[in-house]
Every structure is written in structure tokens, then in C-alpha cells.
Structure 1
């Protein structure tokens, strides 16, 4: 485990302290200290927009996944016919690889020529929409949210099935409607499930790469450049390995801080409950 996790990170940290351009090997591999980090934070005009796109993607996708996953979990927790079949269908997107998912959305769903969504718009007299050029980041956000909704749904469904039915029945006997029952009883009892979904969803959505690479290629312009994709472009388009390593280290630090923040928040809530 140490070899697979810590050694690559240490190597990335080492590379980030050096200037290394694969197109100019004659310049060597000089030590530059924190110059790569200073360049990203201060000199690179693309860095902060990239951070903004990354935050928008993560928060947008996880918010959509939470909302839709909650609705699906509540639906599948009811005694409806064909529930097992419906659960299998809803879970399918989580089992498909991101590259295949991206191609399905690009060619079958959001294509202005052959896409199902634009065909639906055409049937009601509306013009086709070039989704990946008119709404690039929003389109990628929807794709990622669609991938992660089944995970959120499964986590919440497991939490719902652990809630005693007597509690729900008692609320109904007291005259509580569906909306008040959810916010007053179900939602507080699902808090741990929401925390798990938020933690894992945020960490993994932060690493989104394939969906962007196969649909928008970071464009139009830099509209869908997120930190992982920008790191890839810096390394394999500009061939600036030192700067790419610095971006990778920054990404790891952001992910660690986000995870620790969520875990700290969870620990505080647990301490308050016990206190």
C-alpha cells in the first residue's frame, strides 16, 4: 500500500520542485523550489478559472445526485410492483465505465443531430441545442451527476431500510404529512447516509477526467477545464512536467482538505449527539 500511494506522491512532489520540459531536454532538470507553485497561483491566468470550474462541477454534480438520489431512494423504499427491476435499471449507470457513459451522452443523448433530447425538442417545435458548445460545463455536470446518482440512491436506500417502520407510522398517526415526515424524521435519521454520499461523491467527482476528455476536450476554449484535465494538458500538451506535477500536488492537497473538513464536521456532529 505504501508503494502504491505514498511513493508516487513523493515523486510528484519532487518533480514539482524542478523545471522539466520534455520538448527542451537541453535545459536539463534544474531545481526551482516553489517557482512552479508561484507560477500557478500568481502568473498563470488559467489557474483560478480552472479552480472555479472544478468547484462548480463538484458542487453541481453532487447536488443533482443528492436530490435525484433522494427521490429515487424514497420511491424504491415504497411497496411498489417491479421494484427489483426498477432498482436494477437505476443502478446500471453506476456500473458503466465513465468513458462509455461519456460517449453515450455525447452521441445518443446530447448530439444536436442524432440526440434523443434534441429529437424531443424537435417534436414539440423547438430548435436543436448544441449542448456541448452552448452549455458545456452544465452538460458535463449532468453526465457526472447521472453516473453518481445510483451510488447516492443505494446509500440512502440502505439508510431508509434501517429506519424502524414504527417511527414512520407513529408520525402518520400524529397527523404528520409526507413532507413533514421527511424533514422532521427521515432526513435527520439519514444524516449519516448523506455524509457518506457527500464524502465519497465529492472525492471521486473531483477526479473527473474521462467525461471531459471524450465530450468537450476542455472546451469550448477553457470552459470545461477542471484541475485534473488542466494537469493532463500541462503535462501532455505543453510538456511542462514540473508544472503539471505542481498542479497534481495542489489537487491532492485540496482533496485531502475537503475530506478532512467533512470528517471533522461529522465528528463534531457525533460529539454533539453523544454530549
Structure 2
């Protein structure tokens, strides 16, 4: 991969090439942002619902919590293979079997909805993490607050939206912060399901970096893409941390 005579110093020309000359860069950045935003939103919704259900005094709650964390503990590439072959396969997938059972023709998920399918798989993997964070937040809410809302006549939805949800701001911020950093690095799910296709539909910045380095052997451009990815992740994390810090200071003030 590296020539014996080394690489000539080219300054910032690789960055100019990516931002200005590479026609694939901005669409791929758009794919990356769609994946991150979509997976986080889905994981927040599903994780909140699971946390609310598993916070109730039901039989076998501890076992159910353990089962719910399994997707987060399985290797991402293995989880993606499970979804690809067991659930979303056009010929033998369980989802298409259910659709066929109710009279809907089979859907080639990774051909017609490639980015959405990968986003769903990533969200499935991150839902347990969100659930655990929100569950910890729910258990830290004083029971007196919920009892007061019940005495005032608030129903379950009103209690959650006006009382519980504002108290879960910190857990949500933590879930969004860690989710953004790690989902931005998604690679294995794309590699084993769509290989970045069709076309560039599921190419994200980490996967495009891999292709540039090991398929096109453009090591300089790949290094540039890697640096851009690190900078974007740092800026996103810095922005979230600053927002969290400013809100904490304003609350104390």
C-alpha cells in the first residue's frame, strides 16, 4: 500500500480535492448524517417505550431487561447478518413471510430501501443502550413527584410529557451524545449487508474511507477522509457537551 520511496508532501491539496473536486464526498456525508439522525431518533423512541414498560412492576422484569439488552451486546456485523438472512431476506426472511401471509408481495429490503434498512438495524442495536440510560433516569425520579401529578388528575400521557420527560433531559443528552459518536463510525453493518450499494446509497464516511484505501489504494485520500471523520465527531461531541454545560450552569444560576 505504501511505496518504498514514501509519499510526496502535498499540503492541503487532498482536502481541496475532497471538498471541491470529489463528486461523491457530499452525497456520502449526507448519507452519514441521515444514518446518524435516523438511527438516533428510532433508538430514542423505541428505547423510551421499552424503558417505560420495564420500569413497571411486572413479573420477570429482571429477565426481560436482560433479554432486551442482547442486541447491544452482539457484535454489529453478526447482528447485521442475522437481520440480512433471517429477517429481511427477500426469499426466506421472516418479515417477508409475514407480509406474504397477509397478502403483500415480498420486498427486497436492501435493494429498494438500503439506507433505511441499515438505519433500522443500527437503531435496533442501540435501542438497549438508550433503554438502560432512560431506565436509570426513570428510577431516579422521586415517587412523590409522580404521586402529586396523579393527585392533580394527570393521566399517564400528561404525566410523562409534562413531568417525567423534562426530568429525563440529562439521560437523553447522554444517549444522544454517545449515540452520535458511535453511530457515526458504523461500518460492519454496511459491509455485510449492502457493501455500500446500490451505487453510493449506503456509502458513509467510514465505509468510503475503507473503499478509498483498500479498493482504490488512494492512501492519501483515505487518510484525509479519516481526519475529516475525526474532526466531525469531535465537533459534534464538543457541541453537545457545550450545550449540556451551558444548560447546567443556567439552571444553577
TM-score (norm 2): 0.98
Moved more, 76-85 or 42-51: 76-85
Cα distance in 1 for partners of 2:4, 2:75 equals: 41
Asked if 1:234 corresponds to 2:212, the answer is yes
Match status 1:222 vs 2:161: no
The RMSD of aligned alpha carbons is 1.1
- Name structure 1 gaps, 5 residues minimum: 1-21
Per-residue Cα deviation, 1:171-195 (whole angstroms, up to 9, x for no partner)? 0010111111111111111111001
Matching of residue 36 in structure 1 with residue 14 in structure 2 = yes
Distance across 1 between alignment mates of 2:217 and 2:147: 63
Q: Which runs of 4+ in 1 moved over 6 A?
A: none
Match of 1:58 in 2: 36
1:218 Cα shift?
Answer: 0.1
Q: Deviations over 1:76-123 (max 9, x none)?
A: 111112212211111110110001101000100100111000000011
Which of 179, 190, 196 is residue 168 of structure 2 equivalent to?
Answer: 190
Please give the alpha-carbon distance, in whole angstroms, between the structure 1 residues aligned to 2:30 and 2:76: 22
In the alignment, the residues of structure 2 paired with residue 223 and residue 248 of structure 1 have an alpha-carbon distance, to the nearest angstrom, of 20
- How many residue pairs get matched? 253
Structure 1 residue 29: Cα displacement: 1.3
* Residues 129-187 of structure 1 deviation map (CA, whole Å, 9 limit, x = unaligned): 00000000000000000000000000000110011111101100101111111111111
State which of 101, 115, 128 in structure 1 corresponds to 2:79. 101
Q: TM-score, normalised by structure 1?
A: 0.90
Distance in 2 (CA, whole Å) between partners of 1:222 and 1:45 is 11
1:85 to 43, 59, 63: 63
CA deviation string 1:33-72 (max 9, x = no partner): 0010000000000000000000000000000000000000
1:180-235 CA distances to partner (integer Å, 9 max, x unpaired)?
11111111111110011010011000000000000000000110000000000000
Alignment partner, residue 151 of structure 1: 129
CA distance in 2, matches of 1:207, 1:173: 47
2:241 counterpart of 1:263: yes
For residues 266 and 227 of structure 1, what CA distance do their matches in structure 2 show? 27
Distance of 1:254 and 1:243 partners within structure 2 = 16
5+ residue gaps, structure 2: none
Q: Quick one: distance in 2 between partners of 1:130 and 1:149?
A: 24
Q: 1:176 aligns with which of 138, 146, 154?
A: 154
